[in-house]
Structure 1
Amino acid sequence: MGDARGRLLALIRETAVVRGRVTLSSGAEADYYVDLRRITLHHEAAPLVGRVMLDLVDGRGLSPDAVGGLTMGADPVAAAMLHAASAQGRPLDAFVVRKQGKAHGLQRQIEGPAVEGRAVVAVEDTMTTGGSVMTAVEALRAHGAQVLAVAVLVDRDTGARERIEAEGLDYLAVFTKDELGLDDGPAAGAGTGEPARPTL
């Protein structure tokens, strides 16, 4: 994983970390913003995301049948992992969790292959409090899935780990904010909450 991880870290630092004053949707201000959609939807970085996230899960000895999370931050992460597994000849499905079921059609909250009775890992690009991923975990459990762990690309160290582990789940992260060279300024930004007004 070393080469892929190192290159991905470089791409995140170069591409996703936006310096400058940013007003977040909460109203708080930050000196930087981490936009991981610039990574998970990037032609070079996305395949690396799949490889390092899959290696992260493998490193804990987990063998999920499927991966996914709350739309939309988790969607490209899960898709990247699906393709990385396929390249290795391994079966791994992906799924998308809506905040609530659709009011028409099949009225599904979880899109993709069925998760009932299957082992899954809930994924995200980054997390602040863990609220979004726990919404996904609750939906997965309600639909009969066995949630093995939560895995994230960048851990912001702002309480998500504690919340996830309090639910009895393993919390796996590829990178910490320290590895990204980010300081502990007040209310530092992250890609799961869009900035309301960037002042870059």
Structure 2
Amino acid sequence: MSAESIAPALSLPVDEARERLRVLIRDLAVVRGQVTLSSGAEADHYVDLRRITLHHEAAPLVGRVMLDLLQREGLVPGIAAVGGLTLGADPVAASILHASAADPASEALDAFVVRKANKAHGLQRRIEGPEVSGRRVVAVEDTSTTGGSVLTACEALAEAGARIDAVAVIVHRADASKQAVEAAGHRYVSAFDISELEI
């Protein structure tokens, strides 16, 4: 796809953008075969969403679809920033940041990165980017099986004084993740359910 054909993707009606993203996820990100997930669970397929969030056509669509999700769920306007645990959340947050900046009807959103541990040099920050203390945020992730990564991000955000309005994922993979997030007191929203990928 040429650079000229990417820009129209951002101006597609959101339903068309969502369908195009769904097809790209289905065709590019679903890897079939026995795999061990980060949770340690075994599965007969893997949804590798980095093949989407770092893809030239799909990444802008991720931002568009996720921003629309946050708007439909009443989180935008209202929140100030999005981000999550590095590495899976980083391109998701960046895509949303760019989509919000490009949408004249949206409040611009900042992005942040939550490190897995405090940096040992410099400012020794765990959360990189604009300050989150006292701000309303959404913790994002590409997909989640147990909720472990996004809940680690939520713990760091709470320690930093952020108000976590929700957790948002591109693909809802497992009820265990949603249950863990909700048990921790956070709202859980997703753009797609795993069933929509025709696995």
TM-score interval, normalised by the smaller of the two chains: 0.7 to 0.9
Change (3 A) 1:27 1:64: closer
More helix by share: 2
Structure 1 length-normalised TM: 0.87
Give the Å deviation of 1:27: 6.1
Which secondary structure does the structure 1 equivalent of 2:31 belong to? strand
Matches within 5 A, 1:130-149: 130-149=147-166
Going from structure 1 to structure 2, the CA distance change for 1:131 and 1:29 (only over 3 Å counts) comes to: closer
CA distance in 2, matches of 1:112, 1:34: 28
Does the 8 A contact of 2:113 with 2:127 survive in 1? Answer: yes
Shift of 1:25: 5.7
Match of 1:67 in 2: 82
Q: Which residue of 2 aligns with 1:111?
A: 128
RMSD value, Cα: 1.4
* Residue 8 in structure 1 maps to residue 21 in structure 2: yes
Compare 13-22 and 53-62 and name the one that shifted more. 13-22
Separation in 1, partners of 2:40, 2:133: 39
Task: Give the residue type in structure 2 aligned to 1:135.
Answer: T
- Which structure has the higher relative contact order (CA within 8 Å, separation 6+)? 1
Unaligned runs of 5+ in 2: 1-13
**Which 4+ runs in 1 deviate beyond 6 A?**
none
Superposed CA offset, 1:41-65 (max 9, x none): 0000000000111111111111210
What is the alpha-carbon distance in structure 2 between the residues aligned to residue 165 and residue 97 of structure 1? Answer: 20
Aligned twin of 1:101 = 118
- 1:33 Cα offset (Å): 1.4
Percent identical among aligned pairs is 66
Equivalent AA in structure 2 for residue 34 of structure 1: V
| 2:193 paired residue number | 176
The one of 27, 35, 52 equivalent to 1:39 is: 52
Residues 23 and 117 of structure 1: is their aligned pair in 2 closer, same or farther, counting only changes over 3 Å? Answer: closer
- The alpha carbon displacement at 1:31 in A equals 2.1
1:79 match? 94
2:39–2:145 CA contact under 8 A, matched in 1: no
Q: How many residues align?
A: 182
Deviation at 1:23, TM superposition (A): 4.5
CA distance in 1, matches of 2:37, 2:152: 21
